[in-house]
Structure 1
Amino acid sequence: MSENTHENLINEIIDLELYMFLAVKNQGGTSMCQERPESFRIMREITHGVLSEDFLRSYRNDLQRAKEYGRNFMTEKYALMDQLIPSISTDPRIKEIVAVESTWRKEVAQKFPQTIHPDGHESFCRYLGCELETYSTSTMNAYEICVKNAQKEKQNLVQERYELLMVKLGHGSLINCESNLTAHHSHAIGKPSDA
């Protein structure tokens, strides 16, 4: 897989996702997140960065088709998260994948408790499950293969995403970030930590 192709696919996907994201009509007007498209780009880059080219191609095709038909995956995902619309997919693999990634996230939070807060776990699972509901069958097939391959290779895709995020944020790695936060925390005992 050429890095250039992988990167190009991710950029195409994020352009389409950002178009949808900015078009989401929120109750109460534009959300703060919508005013920060660069943060959105970074988060989506790390989400897709650990996935296969097969997945990226299939998901890009889903997004292109949805745009042609005036469908907005981001609107659907947030509406599902807020329980404003009924479930749009009953694919049993969604629960299985969320269970695997949930275990991965718990492992990362245990190893890096200063960097990855355990209290974000429930929203992580809800977000992932609702996102998976917007995928077509072929995109779900490709995503399932990514997860199964990672399990086979003893990889943790959640940790790999956080590693990418640490590089993007200038921390270098999870280990670096954790040790900096731990050092900062130990110096800040007795006053609220701003980490």
Structure 2
Amino acid sequence: MFGFKNEEERRIAVESIVKDEWDMFQKVQNIGGRAGCQNDWNTFYIMRASQYSAWNDLMLKSYAKDLKDAAEQGRNLITEKYAYMMEYTDPLYFKRELEPHLPQLDLETMNMVEEISWYLVDCEKELAKAFPKLAGAGRPIEEAGGFTSLQSYAKGELKTYSRNTLELYLDHVRANRAAGKNLAFTVQDTTVKMYGYASMEDAERKL
């Protein structure tokens, strides 16, 4: 599997991924009825496209295949993500109502999920020190009883990825960690620019 030929091809691939995720998101059945965020395409697009700005081409191609495979199997990866997240926000309900219906993950998969999620948590902590207002506008970083943290969100999503996507993600994380790079800065820089700010420093001043 090779990378994209140019930035335009990569942009089209990201848009296709986000559209596939949006289609799945529209079918998520919430306990309290349809959530307001399910009507907010603009925010959804910015959040998801920003995340993928920190991914390499091989990761994007592998995850695009995950989405296609899931759709063919009648699986909704967004529904599964939110279900996995409830292991941390409502463990009793998760054990009783959700876990029996979710794919069972082996130890190797769980170890990859843990390593990637802890790297992402470390990145977010570093970002929060440098840009406290920006970081404070989002979820809490680490698991906090009853609230969806960045950590529980990341774990829930990582558990929906295929083995191939997880392995590529772990390789990416290890390479960036070895190089002292922080993926959260890449994501946040893309996010603020999509909202019209000149830079993270500009957004931090204006928030």
Q: TM-score, normalised by structure 1?
A: 0.88
Which one is further off, 112-121 or 34-43? 112-121
Mapped partners of 2:55, 2:196: distance in 1: 22
The correspondence for 1:103, drawn from 93, 117, 122, is 122
Q: Displacement, 1:152?
A: 2.5
Q: What is the deviation of 1:46?
A: 0.5
Query: What RMSD, in angstroms, separates the aligned Cα atoms of the two structures?
Result: 1.5
What's the counterpart of residue 24 of structure 1?
Answer: 28
Residue 169 (str. 1) matches residue 195 (str. 2): yes
Does residue 126 of structure 1 match 2:145?
no
2:82 partner amino acid: Y
Offset at residue 179 of structure 1 (A) = 2.2
Gaps of 5+ in 1: 182-195
State the 1:119 CA deviation: 6.3
For residues 167-189 of structure 1, the C-alpha deviation after alignment (integer angstroms, 9 at most, x for no partner) is 011112111111233xxxxxxxx
For 1:12-50, what per-residue CA distance to the aligned partner results, in whole angstroms no more than 9, with x for missing partners? Answer: 111110110011011122101101122111110001111
Q: How far apart, in 1, do the equivalents of 2:54 and 2:165 lie?
A: 15
Match of 1:33 in 2: 37
d(CA) in 1 for partners of 2:127 and 2:168?
24
Give the paired residue count: 181
TM-score, normalisation: structure 2:
0.83
Confirm whether residue 159 of structure 1 aligns to residue 163 of structure 2.
Answer: no
Structure 2: distance between partners of 1:40 and 1:4: 21
User: Deviation digits for residues 86-109 of structure 1, max 9, x if unmatched?
Assistant: 374241011111111111100000
Cα deviation, 1:149-182, whole Å, max 9, x if unaligned, reads 211222110111000001011112111111233x
Counterparts of 1:180 and 1:31 in 2: how far apart (Å)?
29
Percent identity for Structure 1 against Structure 2:
30
The corresponding residue for 1:8 is: 12
Q: What secondary structure is seen at the aligned counterpart in 2 of 1:141?
A: helix
Query: Are the counterparts in 1 of residues 139 and 150 from structure 2 also a CA contact under 8 Å?
Result: no
CA distance in 2, matches of 1:129, 1:73: 13
Matched residue of 1:82: which SS?
Answer: helix
Change (3 A) 1:20 1:141: same
Runs of 4+ that moved beyond 6 A: none
Larger Rg: 1
Offset of residue 141 of structure 1: 1.1
How far does residue 148 in structure 1 lie from its aligned partner after superposition? Answer: 1.5
Q: For 2:35 and 2:72, how far apart are their aligned partners in 1?
A: 25
TM alignment of 1:36-185, pairs within 5 A: 36-83=40-87, 84=94, 85-86=98-99, 88-89=104-105, 90=107, 91=109, 92-117=111-136, 120-122=140-142, 123-181=149-207
Aligned AA (1:111): A
